[in-house]
Amino acid sequence: MAAVFQHILNGLMQGTIYGLVAMGFTIFFGVMNVIKFSHGDVLTFGAFAAIVAVWTTSGLGLPIWLQVIFVFLAAMLVSAVAGAAISHFLIMPLRNAPPLNMLLMTMMTGTVLRETIRLFFPNGTNSQRFPELLPVGGLNIGGVFIRYDGMILIASGIASIAIVHWIIVHTRFGLAVRAVAEDSETARTMGINFSRTILLTFALGSITAGFAGALFGLYYSEINYGMGLLLAIIGFSAAIVGGLGNIWGAILGGYLFAGLQTFVVAAAPSMSDYKNVFAFICVIALITLRPTGLIAERKAERV
């Protein structure tokens, strides 16, 4: 029984990170109908910015809590800039191109980001140790090991999802985002600054990636240049399975994917090689059963 709880806890943490990534995909898709595959590598950029921030701030001898704040600020800022730059220089000029071109372009952009870190970050090909900033250890309750840092991170992950949701539902900026998502032509005629809204939305989505990147580093204590690719694939899968354009769908998809992976290892440890086979088969089965996602897009096609 204790093991079951332990697995659930692990799955929750993984799912939170997947969900955060998937949320980015879904936000971008919502406003511009694009899949931005470089999202995972923007996350990696954030994580590397975070590690530079730790090195710098600990070099300056700042207290731990201030280091943590700088870590998140640096990660979010760098990701926001990277995401906004990609949107401005690459996605906007191609926005009328076929979706396939966009998909390929963002995948290639991801490769560029990845290779840039690998080649130009000092010792970039190797895994980087992310210093431990959060309280080490945890509680042992009936055989379940509850990590303090894990709890903090799950809580802050969920909080950030809630904040993004609040921004989109309750602020003026959020209103503009929703208007553009609904019908960009009409939104423009109603005086919404289209390109500014797009830019800010991409910045917002990328901030969540940076946040997730910093979380990732803090939780796993290790980052590497290639971590964004698999995260992007999983995040994309989660966003699609959940239903593109729907934040709750993305979160649901993220937890579902983590749950599937964990389930295989827990239920049949000797089959652990096959866990991604199983997870992706489930993904295919789910989109076959619900071709527009678990929480379907509401838009009916006008005929």
Partner 1 sequence: MSISMQSRRKAAIWPLAIAVALSAAALIALLSIDDQITLGVTLGVIAAGCVLAARFGAVAATEAAGADHPFVLRVLVVLAAIAVLIGLRNDNFGLLMVTTVLIYATVCIGLTIQMGYAGLFNFAGAAFLGIGGYTAALLGPKGVPDLLLLALGGFAAVVVGSLLLLPVLRTRGHYAALATLAFSILFNVFLDANDIFGGPQGLKLQGMVLFGWDFTNDITIAGYTISSYANYAILAGLLTAAAMMLTGFIDRSWIGVWLDAVRLDEVAASVFGLKIGRWKIAAFTIGNFFAGVMGALYAKMTGFIAPSNFTFGDSLTMVSIVILGGIGNRWGVLPAALIVVLLPEKLQFIQEYRFLLFSILVIIILVAWPDGLIARRLRKLEFARR
Partner 2 sequence: MDLMRWSKRLAILAAVSAFAMVALESEQAFAKEKVKIAFVGPMTGSISPHGIGGRNSAELAVKIMNSDPKTKYEYQLEVFDDECKPNVGVQVITKIASDRSIVAAIPHYCSATAIATVDIFHRFKLPMVIWAAVLPEITYAQKYPEIHRVSGILIGQNRVGAQFMKEHGYTTFVSVADSTDYGKSMNKYFTQFTLENNNKILGTFSVPPDQQDLSAELTKIKELNPQVIYFGGLTPLGARLRTQMEKLGITAQFEGNSGIMGDNYINAVGPKLAEGTVTFFDSPPIAKMPGGKFFTEQYQAAGYREPPEAYGPFAYVATRLVMETIEKAGPDRAKITAALGDVKDVPSIIAPITFDDHGQNITPLTTKYVVQDGKWVVWEDSEYATGKRKLVNCPHC
Partner 3 sequence: MTRTARETASSAPLLVAQGLSVRFGGLLALNALDVEVRRGEILGLIGPNGSGKTTFFNVISGVYSASAGSVHFDGVDITNVKPHYLAAHGLARTFQRSRLCLPLSVFDNLALGAVGQLNSGFMHNLISRSAFRAEASKLAEEARELLRVFNPVLADKLFEPTISLGMIDRRRVEICRALIGKPKLVLLDEPSAGMTHDETDMFMNEILQVRKSLGDLTIIIVEHEMNLIERVTSHCVVLNYGKKICEGQFKEVAADPVVREAYLGQS
Which spans of this chain sit near partner 2 (rule: CB under 8 A)? 3, 6-7, 10-11, 13-14, 49, 52, 118, 120, 123, 125-129, 137-138, 140, 145, 147, 149-150, 216, 219-222, 224, 226-227, 229-231, 261-262, 265-266, 269-270, 272-273, 275-276
In contact, 192 and 180? CB cutoff 8 Å: yes
Amino acid identity for residue 112 in this structure:
V
Give SS3 for 248.
Answer: helix
Q: Give me the phi and psi of 140, to 5 degrees please.
A: -110, 105
Shortest spacing between CB 303 and partner 3, in angstroms: 5
Size of residue set near partner 3 by CB under 8 A: 3
Region label for 50, one of left (φ > 0), alpha (ψ between -120 and 50) or beta (otherwise): alpha
CA distances from 287 to 35, 126, 244, 247, 293 (A): 17, 37, 12, 17, 6
Q: Which is nearer to partner 2, 193 or 272 (CB)?
A: 272
Residue 300: contacted member of partner 3, partner 1, partner 2, none (CB under 5 to 8 Å, by partner type): partner 3
Positions 283 through 302 that interact with partner 3 (CB under 8 A): 300, 302
User: Residue 8 corresponds to which tokens in the numbers above?
Assistant: 């659930």
Give SS3 for 129.
Answer: strand
User: Residue 25 corresponds to which tokens in the numbers above?
Assistant: 């995909």
* Binding flag, residue 97, partner 1 (CB under 8 A): yes
Work out whether the CA dihedral 289, 291, 297, 301 comes out positive or negative.
negative
Rounded-to-integer distance, Cα 199 and Cα 83, Å: 9
66, 112, 159, 267: which one binds partner 1 (CB under 8 A): 112
* Binding flag, residue 107, partner 1 (CB under 8 A): yes
Beta bridge partners of 147: 138
Q: Which is nearer to partner 3, 1 or 300 (CB)?
A: 300
Furthest-apart CA atoms within the chain: distance in Å:
64
Shortest spacing between CB 98 and partner 1, in angstroms: 7
Q: Which is nearer to partner 3, 100 or 303 (CB)?
A: 303
* Binding flag, residue 288, partner 1 (CB under 8 A): yes
Where do contacts with partner 1 occur on this chain (CB under 8 A)? Answer: 29, 35, 90, 93-94, 97-101, 103-105, 107-109, 111-112, 115-116, 119, 233, 236-237, 240-241, 244, 273-274, 276-277, 280-281, 283-285, 287-288, 291-293, 301, 303
Residues that bind partner 3 (CB under 8 A): 300, 302-303
